[in-house]
């Protein structure tokens, strides 16, 4: 069975090699190699690799294109306060009739069609922070800096920091970072990118943000001020030293927005018709149906690979798989591990996988009368056979964890914060039974709440874990609710969750989700040991690697002892891809469709 | 029915229809608010209580449900159903965008229902109580005998994955319409054929048919002539049901085939608690149901004088 | 969504009570049950027995997981006799789950039906014998129910009261009661004008007596037939609710939830959805054909041919 199958990573590594091979034929090889060498050279002139693809294979798409029954819908979208440019672009009758002034090569680029399980209702990247949202907004917006995901180990996980909209950057002192912007960058509406846009972008969610942006604020809360030095220079100030500032700027809630346009249309108009500097520009969004993007031919990184990108909503897994195999779409997302085998047999189609920078987690509500018993929670944690879950449920493809830490803490961009001597989270049913007896647990019902399909195998793991708990004598049951995480915090006893690693450091994963200013400590848990928050607050303002390391290790000890939750494993994300598409999934949820990671062969 | 009588009937139905709408909207309005608010879904699980409260008041949900209800009523009088919480544009627009897709699917499903259901029913009646009868009816029931997501996925696997003759999902071309329409029509076909069958059986036993037969007219001519007229009533009934189903009941078919119709909109809106969209969608659905029933009542009266006396 | 509630369309015009009254013939037709209908009856009887005897028949507990033995095929497709019909995505025994599933699926369907029929027939009877305000009020409720999309009711009710079996059954009771109400009311109105009821009234019979002796017997037959049609709709409705994520909670097995969970596996582990799918198909087909036959038997206008 699945256990015998080779790791999917091999596939992606193969694919990576292919990417390299392709690139070798063009000049594009230089930035990639340069990146390998750890050189901060200006990269991304891989444009030529995108331009040469021919669209012959994609002729059939022409038949599906007239599909957008939505010339009317498009107009409706326009009403929502788009600029004139936008209106022109989207009210054009034929999807192929682009505004592209570019040469012939620009016109016969293929269309890329992606089958997704859902789309966000709006496209403000700061409001759509989940996997469904960032997956698509990453094609519309650029960061100041980016992580080199292609060169990571395993491929798809980020290694070092590369320039993006910022051409170069420098730490002036512990508290300031100066960034020099890339000249000649334009937004989709033709406006040039200036330092004012950068300041606006950060002020919007850092200084007294509207409610919709409060969530985004938490990701980069260390920044105290963004100062415009000149048109192409900005200075970032932090109140305390922030060792992670550069990496934060490659991650969530740092997508650069256009000041003038945003001020013109307002936050709601912007979500309806967004404009960024990214490789693809917005054409139309039909919620529950499709999102259509079009090449931003003037993208600073070169001509984007695809003429158009269509994200089509196909909620049912079976329908998504059928659409891929029959050639209706080129890539599909969210294939759960059990579907991988069905795709492996199909021709012209393969599964590409990546372990996410994310772990599945269980969270206990320690304020709940039944759950406030620490020994009980420790017993529950010890009763979970994570290895069995990984082997049997995930076919060995998910990754076990040494506590709440990610390997990438010690990767090329990590700050040596991974303790590879920390033991794997233990499984010991006998000790669990002892602790349970000791805890004085009276057989009260313990309900594990999960959504049916929000997390891959979320409901399956919940049922398996509940059985493990029953096996040690806990009266546990599963509750599967569509809106499991929408409300009723007080009523929750146990629920599943996931924690992402956003900046390859405990600060952007463990502390971000369990630290003092989080909902975890507000709603579910108050650390009995005050050291936890003291250490956490201290560590995030310290540049000394060892102090930080020791602090986080001690915090993990406290966390494991108090057991407000536990980690399960690092999940694998699977994409189905037609073999003529060279594209690599990243350990982040977003799909990178920039030319260096997308090549469509004829 | 005289003209006055007719007018009175129509007026009474109109008043009753409006009252129905009002009660339906009111029930949904309060039901939704009891069930939970959309604030957490908007600001995120991690948001502070302050952000939560601010969003609540921004959406006007900090007022008591009764106050909200009064505001709601005063606005809908002017046709303002508010803005979709999820899509941030007028709820009316959001719903109307989906109606076209729903209408296409409904029309196609209805056509299939008629084209397959009626002949099946006539044939079954012709061979009443024989193996052919049972066999035909079994076929009619076949499509209706499994959950429609099951039959829908089986269709996708067969025609898109293995035979690759039909597109698996989406709503672009006419070929996209085939599988969802067939799946949606399964239930209608079963209903239609069953109704046609019993109507035909009834007709065949009427005295005037016996007379016609006695006069030497061929059985086939007799059947076709009279059945066509008689089948109009079941046809209308099924039409009404299919209309209602196609608008509110197609959620499963729309999800399986990624068809952007009203059913899926309603289901998603309930889950995301997009009050304004659900409220307006419910109004649209209720209006169409009330109107369809009204028309059917009128048509019944015109088609079959017996019903007029029976009903009231 | 459901086809329940919609089957009401198969509406009966009030049949002539005088002809209806010749009851003696009915039993002759029971004896001449066609072959295929006998098979249907046998299948149904089988399912009912299976549902009742599930704990005895099932080889293992339907909730027992065996993660290392997940997705095992049935015997004959590479599986072993340990799990004759294979296992599901958590290694649970498909045979045991299908057997227990009969319990839940048929049980929930029947319970929902009983609620719907009781509610509907009561409403219809009252509306039929109390013309005027009571009738108008009740029929108004029917209108409201018709205009209210069932899916909205179901989603809201389950969000409000939780996803328990009881709530599920009550929700299903609301799918279709209005058709019984309309049917019953029509029959009552038809019957009330018949000569023998008029005669009974003239003789001073009480209204309860008229209802129980003269009206009810005429109403029961069509209601039974309609019920067989609606039952299939309710059995399928249970699966639709599972599809929408508001069905029976695990680990309780039902055919609907099994098909719902198994639908993603049709391509890789078909037995998960196909086996309960066949069960649901056999059950609903049998009920439908039986219902059709019952209608022929009970409806005099058809019978006379």
DSSP class of A586: -
Beta bridge mates, A203:
none
H helix or E strand, kind and range, residue A349: strand A349-355
Q: What pLDDT digit, counting tens, does each position of A257-285 carry?
A: 999 999 999 998 999 999 999 999 999 99
For the entire predicted model, the pTM comes to: 0.84
Does A474 have pLDDT greater than 90? yes
Contact B245/C6 with Cβ under 8 angstroms?
yes
Pairing verdict, β A111-116 and A308-313: parallel
Please state the three-class secondary structure of chain C as a single string.
Answer: CCCCCCHHHHCCCCCCHHHHCCCCHHHHHHHCCCHHHHHHHHHHHHHHHHHHHHHHHCCCCCCCCCHHHCCCCCCCCCCCCCCCCCECCCCCEHHHHHHHHHHHHHHHHHHHHHHHHHHHHHHHHHHHHCCCHHHHHHHHHHHHHHHCCHHHHHHHHHHHHCCCHHHHHHHHHCCCHHHHHHHHHHHHHHHHCCHHHHHHHHCCCCHHHHHHHHHHHHHHHHHHHHHHHHHHHHHHHHHHHHHCCCCCCCCCCCHHHHHHHHHHHCCCCCHHHHHHHHHHHHHHHHHHHHHHHHHHHHCHHHHCC
Answer whether residue C283 shows pLDDT above 50: yes
Which residue did the predictor score with more confidence, A415 or B56? B56
pLDDT of B10 reads 80
Residue B286 has pLDDT above 50, yes or no: yes
State mean pLDDT over C162-183: 87
The partner residue sitting opposite B146, judged by closest CB among C277, C288, C289, is: C277
Q: Is the pLDDT of residue A503 over 50?
A: yes
Residue A17 pLDDT greater than 60, yes or no = no
Q: How far apart are CA B10 and CA A88, in angstroms?
A: 48
A520-547 tens-digit pLDDT:
998 899 999 999 999 999 998 888 899 9
Is pLDDT of A204 > 90? yes
Mean pLDDT estimate for chain C: 83
Q: Which pairing describes strands A476-480 and A446-450: parallel, antiparallel, or unpaired?
A: parallel
| Cβ within 8 Å, pair B169-A314 | yes
Q: Which whole-number Å values give the CA distances from B308 to A92, B289, C13, in the listed order?
A: 54, 21, 12
Residue A19 has pLDDT above 70, yes or no: no
Neighbouring chains of A at 3+ CB pairs within 8 Å? Answer: B, C
Plot region of A217 (φ>0 → left; ψ -120 to 50 → alpha; else → beta): alpha
Count of H helices and E strands in chain B? Answer: 15, 0
Distance CA A150, CA A13 (A): 10
What was the pLDDT predicted at A424? 96
Asked whether the CA dihedral A449, A454, A459, A464 is positive or negative, the reply is negative
Q: What is the mean pLDDT of chain B?
A: 82
Q: Do A287 and B271 touch (CB under 8 A)?
A: no
Least confident of A388-397, B2-11, C35-44: B2-11
The pLDDT assigned to B122 comes to: 84
Task: Average the pLDDT over B118-128 and give the result.
Answer: 85
**pLDDT for position A78:** 34
CB contact under 8 A, A487 and B255: no
* Chain C contact partners (≥3 CB pairs within 8 A): A, B
Inter-chain touch A480–C90, beta carbons under 8 Å:
no
Residue A274: exposure state from Cβ atoms within 10 A (0-12, 13-18, ≥19):
buried
The half-sphere exposure of A464 on its side-chain side, counting CA atoms within 13 A, is: 26
Instruction: Please name the member of C71, C159, C250 whose beta carbon is closest to the beta carbon of A463.
Output: C250
Distance (Å, whole) CA B18 – CA B286:
10
pLDDT of residue C4: 38
From chain B, the residues in CB contact with A271 under 8 A are 88
Q: Which of A255, A259, A213, A268 is nearest to A82 (CA)?
A: A268
- Identify the residue with better confidence: C115 or A151: C115
Cβ distance of B150 and C140 shorter than 8 Å: no
**What is the Cα–Cα distance from A435 to A473, expressed in whole angstroms?**
11
Residue A73 binned pLDDT confidence (cut-offs 50, 70, 90): very low
Q: Are A300 and A184 a contacting pair, CB within 8 Å? A: yes
A64 touches chain B (CB under 8 A): yes
Dihedral sign of CA atoms B200, B201, B207, B209 in order: positive
Here the tokens at position B299 are: 């048509």
pLDDT tens digit sequence for C236-251 = 999 888 888 888 888 8
User: Chain A within 8 Å of B41 (Cβ-Cβ)?
Assistant: yes
The pLDDT, as a whole number, for residue A339 is 87
Per-residue pLDDT reduced to its tens digit, A107-165: 789 999 999 999 998 999 999 988 899 999 999 999 999 988 888 777 777 668 899 99
Query: Contact at 8 Å (CB) between C124 and C184?
Result: yes
Residues 6+ apart with CB under 8 A from A549: A416, A417, A419
Find, in chain B, the residue whose alpha carbon is nearest to that of C300.
B202
Distance from CA of B242 to the nearest CA of A (A): 23
Over residues A371-380, mean pLDDT: 96
d(CA A284, CA A70): 9
Long-range contacts, C42-48 (Cβ 8 Å, 24+): C43/C282, C43/C283, C43/C286, C44/C283, C44/C286, C44/C287, C44/C290, C47/C102, C47/C106, C47/C279, C47/C282, C47/C283, C48/C106
Q: Which of residues 203-222 of A touch B (CB under 8 A)?
A: 211-212, 214-215, 218
pLDDT for A309 beyond 60 = yes
A310 three-state secondary structure: strand
Residues 463-492 of A with CB under 8 A from B: 482-483, 485-488
d(CA C171, CA C157): 7
CA distances from C240 to A58, A320, B271 (A): 38, 20, 16
Task: Give me chain A's average pLDDT, please.
Answer: 82
Residue B236 pLDDT greater than 60, yes or no? yes
At B231, the pLDDT band (50, 70, 90 cuts) reads low
**Which of A338, A452, A459 comes nearest C268 by C-beta?**
A338
- Share of residues in chain A with pLDDT > 90 (%): 63
Query: Residue B244's pLDDT is what?
Result: 66
Residue B226 has pLDDT above 80, yes or no: no
Q: Alpha-carbon distance C86 to A551, whole Å? A: 51
Neighbours of C234 (CB within 10 A): 29
Determine the residue among A341, A480, A488 to mutate to test chain C binding: the one whose Cβ has the most chain C Cβ atoms within 10 Å: A480
With contact defined as beta carbons under 8 Å apart, do C255 and C101 qualify?
yes
Q: A257 vs C159, which has greater pLDDT? A: A257
Q: How far apart are CA A382 and CA B286, in angstroms?
A: 54
Tell whether omega for the bond before B162 is within 30 degrees of 0, i.e. cis: no
B residues 259..278 contacting A (CB < 8 A): 260, 264-265, 268, 271-273
* Nearest in space to A464 (alpha carbons), one of A501, A434, A498, A496: A496
Question: According to the model, what pLDDT value does residue A1 have?
Answer: 31
More confidently predicted of B210 and A537: A537
| pLDDT (0 to 100) of residue A51 | 33
Provide the pLDDT for residue A71: 35
Contact C140 B19 (CB under 8 A): yes
Question: What mean pLDDT comes out for the span A392-420?
Answer: 90
Pairing of strands A446-450, A494-500: parallel
Of A321, A393, A479, the CB nearest to C249: A479
Taking the CB of residue B142, how many other CB atoms lie within 10 A of it? 17
Closest-CA distance, C227 to chain A, in angstroms, reads 31
Whether cis (ω within 30° of 0) applies to the bond prior to A154 is yes
- Per CB-CB distance under 8 Å, the chain B contacts of A312 are 169-170, 258
A232 and A181 Cβ atoms separated by less than 8 Å: yes
CA distance C214 to chain B (A): 18
Least confident stretch, A88-92, A175-179, A225-229, B55-59: A88-92
Kindly tell me if the per-residue pLDDT of A601 is higher than 80.
yes
DSSP helix/strand/coil, A550 = helix
A&B contacts, CB < 8 Å? 142
Q: Looking at residues B226-250, what average pLDDT do you find?
A: 66
Q: What end-to-end distance do the CA atoms of chain B give, in Å?
A: 13
What was the pLDDT predicted at B223? 64
- Cβ distance A288 to B161 less than 8 Å, yes or no, reads no
CB contact under 8 A, A64 and B41: no
Q: Which residues of C touch A478 (CB under 8 A)?
A: 249-251
Using pLDDT thresholds of 50, 70 and 90, give the confidence band for residue B304. Answer: low
Ranking B39-53, B154-168, C188-202 by mean pLDDT, the lowest is C188-202
Minimal Cβ distance to B46: which of A286, A312, A519:
A519
Read off the tokens for A363: 């969270």
Q: What is the mean pLDDT of residues B71-86?
A: 91
pLDDT over 60 (residue A36): no
Interchain contact, B31 vs C156, CB within 8 Å: yes
* Alpha carbon of A139: minimum distance to chain C alpha carbons (Å): 30
pLDDT band, very low/low/confident/very high, at B164 (cuts 50, 70, 90):
confident
- Does the beta carbon of B194 lie under 8 angstroms from any beta carbon of chain A? no
From C253's Cα to the closest Cα of chain A, the distance in A is 13
Tokens of B28: 């949904």
Alpha carbon dihedral C91, C96, C101, C107, in 10-degree steps, equals -150
User: A286 at the B interface (CB within 8 A)?
Assistant: yes
Which residues in chain C have Cβ-Cβ distances shorter than 8 Å to A336? 264
Instruction: Tell me whether strands A145-147 and A349-355 are parallel, antiparallel or unpaired.
Output: unpaired
Q: According to the model, what pLDDT value does residue B303 have?
A: 65
Positive/negative CA dihedral, C78, C80, C84, C90: negative
Which residue did the predictor score with more confidence, C294 or A187? A187
CA distance A406 to C69: 30
- Burial degree of A151 (CB within 10 A; 0-12, 13-18, 19+): buried
pLDDT at C286 over 50: yes
Kindly identify which residue of chain B lies nearest to residue C153, measuring between CA atoms.
B28
């Amino acid at each position: 069975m699945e256990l015998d199958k080779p790791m999917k990573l091999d596939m992606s590594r193969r694919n990576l090699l292919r990417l390299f091979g392709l690139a070798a034929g063009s000049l594009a090889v230089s930035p990639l190699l340069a990146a390998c060498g750890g050189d901060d050279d200006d990269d991304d002139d891989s444009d030529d690799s995108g331009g040469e693809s021919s669209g012959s294979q994609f002729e059939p798409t022409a038949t599906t294109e007239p599909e957008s029954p939505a010339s009317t819908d498009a107009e409706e979208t326009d009403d929502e306060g788009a600029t004139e440019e936008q209106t022109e672009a989207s009210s054009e009758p034929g999807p192929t009739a682009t505004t592209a002034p570019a040469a012939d090569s620009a016109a016969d680029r293929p269309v890329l069609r992606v089958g997704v399980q859902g789309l966000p209702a709006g496209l403000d990247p700061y409001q759509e922070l989940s996997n469904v949202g960032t997956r698509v907004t990453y094609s519309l917006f650029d960061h100041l800096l980016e992580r080199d995901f292609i060169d990571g180990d395993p491929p798809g996980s980020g290694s070092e920091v590369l320039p993006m909209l910022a051409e170069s950057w420098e730490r002036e002192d512990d508290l300031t970072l100066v960034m020099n912007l890339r000249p000649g960058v334009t937004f989709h509406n033709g406006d040039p990118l200036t330092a004012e846009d950068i300041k606006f972008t950060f002020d919007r969610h850092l200084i007294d943000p509207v409610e919709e942006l409060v969530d985004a604020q938490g990701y980069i809360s260390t920044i105290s001020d963004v100062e415009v030095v000149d048109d192409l220079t900005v200075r970032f100030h932090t109140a305390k030293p922030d060792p992670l500032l550069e990496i934060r700027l490659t991650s969530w809630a740092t997508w650069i927005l256009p000041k003038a346009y945003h001020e013109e249309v307002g936050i709601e108009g912007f979500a309806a018709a967004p404009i960024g500097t990214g490789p693809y520009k917005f054409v139309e969004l039909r919620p529950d149906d499709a999102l259509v993007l079009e090449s931003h031919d003037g993208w600073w990184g070169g001509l984007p690979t695809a003429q158009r990108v269509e994200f089509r909503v196909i909620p049912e897994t079976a329908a998504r798989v059928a659409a891929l195999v029959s050639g209706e779409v080129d890539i599909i997302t969210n294939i759960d591990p059990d579907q991988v085998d069905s795709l492996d047999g199909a021709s012209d189609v393969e599964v590409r996988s990546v372990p996410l920078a994310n772990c599945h987690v269980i969270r206990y509500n320690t304020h709940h009368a039944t759950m406030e018993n620490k020994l009980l929670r420790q017993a529950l944690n010890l009763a979970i056979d994570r290895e069995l879950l990984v082997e049997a449920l995930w076919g060995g493809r998910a990754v076990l964890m040494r506590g709440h830490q990610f390997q990438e803490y010690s990767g090329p961009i990590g700050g040596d914060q991974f303790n590879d001597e920390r033991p794997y989270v233990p499984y010991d049913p006998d000790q669990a039974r002892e602790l349970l007896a000791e805890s004085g647990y009276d057989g009260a019902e313990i309900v594990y709440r999960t959504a049916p399909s929000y997390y891959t195998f979320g409901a399956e793991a919940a049922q398996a874990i509940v059985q493990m708990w029953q096996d040690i004598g806990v009266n546990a049951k599963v509750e599967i609710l569509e809106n499991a995480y929408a409300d009723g915090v007080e009523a929750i006893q146990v629920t599943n969750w996931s924690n992402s690693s956003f900046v390859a450091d405990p600060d952007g994963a463990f502390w971000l989700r369990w630290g003092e200013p989080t909902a975890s400590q507000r709603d579910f848990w108050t650390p009995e040991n005050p050291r936890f928050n003291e250490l956490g607050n201290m560590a995030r303002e310290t540049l000394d690697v060892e102090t930080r390391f020791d602090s986080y290790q001690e915090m993990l000890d406290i966390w494991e002892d108090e057991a407000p939750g536990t980690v399960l494993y690092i999940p694998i994300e699977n994409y189905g891809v037609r073999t003529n598409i060279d594209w690599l999934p990243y350990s982040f949820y977003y799909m990178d469709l920039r030319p260096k990671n997308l090549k469509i062969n004829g | 029915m005289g003209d006055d009588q007719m007018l009175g009937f129509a007026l009474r139905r109109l008043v009753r229809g409006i009252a129905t709408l009002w009660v339906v909207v009111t029930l949904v309005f309060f039901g939704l608010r009891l069930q939970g608010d959309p604030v957490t879904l908007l600001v995120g699980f991690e948001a502070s209580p302050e952000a939560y409260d601010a969003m609540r008041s921004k959406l006007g949900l900090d007022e008591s449900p009764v106050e909200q209800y009064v505001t709601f009523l005063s606005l809908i009088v002017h046709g303002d159903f508010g803005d979709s919480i999820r899509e941030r544009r007028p709820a009316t627009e959001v719903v109307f965008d989906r109606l076209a897709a729903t209408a296409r699917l409904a029309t196609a499903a209805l056509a299939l229902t008629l084209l397959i259901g009626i002949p099946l029913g006539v044939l079954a009646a012709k061979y009443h109580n024989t193996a052919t009868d049972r066999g035909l009816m079994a076929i009619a029931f076949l499509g209706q005998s499994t959950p429609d997501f099951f039959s829908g996925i089986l269709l996708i696997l067969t025609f898109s994955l293995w035979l690759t003759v039909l597109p698996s999902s989406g709503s672009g071309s006419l070929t996209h319409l085939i599988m969802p329409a067939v799946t949606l029509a399964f239930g209608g076909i079963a209903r239609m054929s069953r109704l046609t069958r019993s109507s035909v059986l009834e007709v065949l036993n009427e005295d005037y048919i016996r007379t016609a037969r006695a006069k030497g007219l061929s059985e086939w001519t007799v059947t076709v002539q009279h059945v066509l007229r008689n089948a109009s009533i079941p046809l209308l009934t099924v039409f009404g049901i299919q209309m209602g189903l196609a608008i509110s009941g197609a959620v499963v078919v729309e999800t399986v085939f990624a068809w952007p119709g009203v059913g899926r909109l309603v289901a998603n809106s309930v889950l995301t608690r997009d009050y304004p969209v659900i409220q307006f969608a419910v109004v649209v659905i209720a209006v169409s149901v009330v109107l369809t029933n009204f028309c059917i009542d009128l048509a019944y009266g015109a088609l079959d004088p017996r019903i007029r006396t029976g009903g009231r | 969504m459901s086809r329940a509630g919609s089957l009401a369309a198969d509406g009966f015009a009030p049949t002539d009570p005088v002809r209806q009254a010749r009851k003696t013939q009915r039993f002759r037709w029971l004896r001449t049950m066609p072959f295929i209908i006998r098979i249907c009856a046998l299948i149904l009887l089988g399912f009912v027995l299976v549902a009742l005897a599930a704990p005895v028949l099932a080889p293992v507990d339907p909730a027992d997981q065996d993660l290392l033995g997940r997705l095992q095929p049935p015997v004959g497709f590479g599986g072993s006799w340990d799990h004759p019909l294979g296992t599901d995505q958590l290694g649970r025994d498909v045979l045991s789950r299908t057997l227990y599933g009969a319990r839940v699926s048929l049980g929930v369907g029947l319970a929902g039906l009983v609620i719907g029929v009781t509610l509907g027939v009561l409403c219809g009877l009252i509306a039929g014998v109390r013309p005027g305000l009571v009738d108008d009020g009740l029929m108004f409720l029917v209108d409201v129910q018709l205009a209210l999309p069932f899916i909205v009711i179901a989603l809201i009710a389950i969000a409000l009261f939780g996803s328990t079996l009881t709530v599920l059954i009550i929700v299903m009771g609301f799918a279709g009661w209005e058709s019984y109400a309309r049917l019953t009311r029509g029959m009552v109105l038809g019957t009330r004008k018949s000569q023998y009821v008029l005669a009974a009234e003239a003789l001073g019979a009480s209204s309860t007596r008229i209802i129980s002796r003269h009206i009810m017997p005429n109403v029961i037959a069509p209601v039974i037939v309609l019920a067989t049609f609606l039952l299939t709709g309710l059995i399928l409705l249970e699966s639709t609710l599972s599809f929408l994520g508001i069905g029976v909670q695990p680990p309780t097995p039902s055919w609907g939830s099994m098909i719902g969970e198994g639908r993603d596996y049709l391509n890789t582990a078909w037995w998960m959805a196909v086996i309960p799918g066949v069960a649901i198909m056999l059950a609903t087909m049998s009920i439908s054909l039986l219902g059709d036959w019952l209608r022929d038997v009970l409806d005099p206008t058809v019978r006379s041919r």
